[in-house]
Amino acid sequence: MGMAKDFLRAIVEEDLKAGKYSAVHTRFPPEPNGFPHIGHAKSIALNFGVARDYNGNCNLRMDDTDPTKEDPIYVEALKDAVEWLGFDWGEQIYYTSDYFPKLYEYAQELIKMGKAYVDSVDEETMRELRGTVTQAGKRSEYANRTIEENLELFERMKNGEFADGTHVLRAKIDMSAANMKMRDPLLYRIRNTAHYRVGDSWHIYPMYDFAHCLSDYTEGITHSLCTLEFENNRDIYDWVIETLGLPPPRPYQYEFARLALSYTVMSKRKLLELVQNGVVSGWDDPRMPTIAGYKRRCYTPESILNFCEQIGVAKANSMVDVAQLEAAIRDDLNSKVPRV
């Protein structure tokens, strides 16, 4: 096996042994809103590596649900990164945008069940009504709309009859939930912006929490591996699948520690600022912690994969010394570079 046995692989082995799934199916689902960085390399190595180790499949899926930030150039950069690291996504690339019609139908089902409603309060009011960690939230007055009203408004939202921010679709769960993510989370928002793949055909776009679990289910994913910041989102993941009554087999989400590298900025927003402000020559500037940047710096894919294997898969976040990455490239080049 490529990487040493970790807690995620132990879960996969137990599921296969118990007959929970006939085969392993993972996915790497980045949003195409920036060039992939060293943190993405860890996720690529893990998701594709688990699938390879257990003779399964790993989908490359573009989580393209925000038309204001996404671009085909980032799709190509993500494809290049996966290929350069030596992994194969199979016969096709998947796109969440391909599921928009089905996701819309699922949302309509939740409305018909009385489990979703169109809310029309402004963002500030919504934040105030959510409550705090120690104080329960309150539902807005719009939660009492009838099923017919909600269905009609939701369709009009889809057709582009309203401005951005005027309405959202929310799940009707529990405004006093200890996990604040479960306090009637957003399922859809209005974006009157052309999408790089589907153009102007949609004026509403699903939120991550709604699209993620249903895309996993649609593709037959078994193990949905996410970084720790999505730990509290797991309750929504399960709620959507269970409330819709989707038949098994169904996917389950598991979290692992994201990669934090000393002296290294990995926020896509901050990296984008460096590019836009001309501080660097581009996303592939050798000073950038992007995979394209490391490639230009003459790092080898083997060195990055070795680094990912060395740091392993943990349950708790920690800071990794950048010297460990530098040692990985040094060790790899030492074994390959001819001496004179």
Catalytic annotation, pick one of 258, 296, 302, 309: 258
Q: Which helix (H) or strand (E) holds 239?
A: helix 234-243
Any residues with CB less than 8 A from the CB of 56 and at least 6 apart, and which? 23, 24, 25, 26, 50, 222
Catalytic annotation, pick one of 183, 197, 234, 268: 268
Do residues 225 and 8 make contact, with C-beta atoms less than 8 angstroms apart? yes
Is 219 one of the annotated active-site residues of the chain?
no
Catalytic annotation, pick one of 13, 31, 109, 302: 31
Residue in the structure block whose two tokens are 């993972």: 26
Q: From CA 111, how far away is CA 105, in angstroms rounded?
A: 10
Do residues 246 and 263 make contact, with C-beta atoms less than 8 angstroms apart? no
Do residues 204 and 3 make contact, with C-beta atoms less than 8 angstroms apart? no
φ, ψ (nearest 5 deg) of residue 197: -110, -40
Any residues with CB less than 8 A from the CB of 207 and at least 6 apart, and which? 65, 185, 186, 187, 188, 189
Is 258 one of the annotated active-site residues of the chain?
yes
Is 31 one of the annotated active-site residues of the chain?
yes
Of 198, 129, 128, 218, which is closest to residue 158 (Cα–Cα)?
198
b/e code 281-294 from CB counts within 10 Å (16+ = b): eebbbeebbbbbbb
Of 212, 219, 226, 213, which is closest to residue 254 (Cα–Cα)?
226
Residues with catalytic function: 31, 258, 268
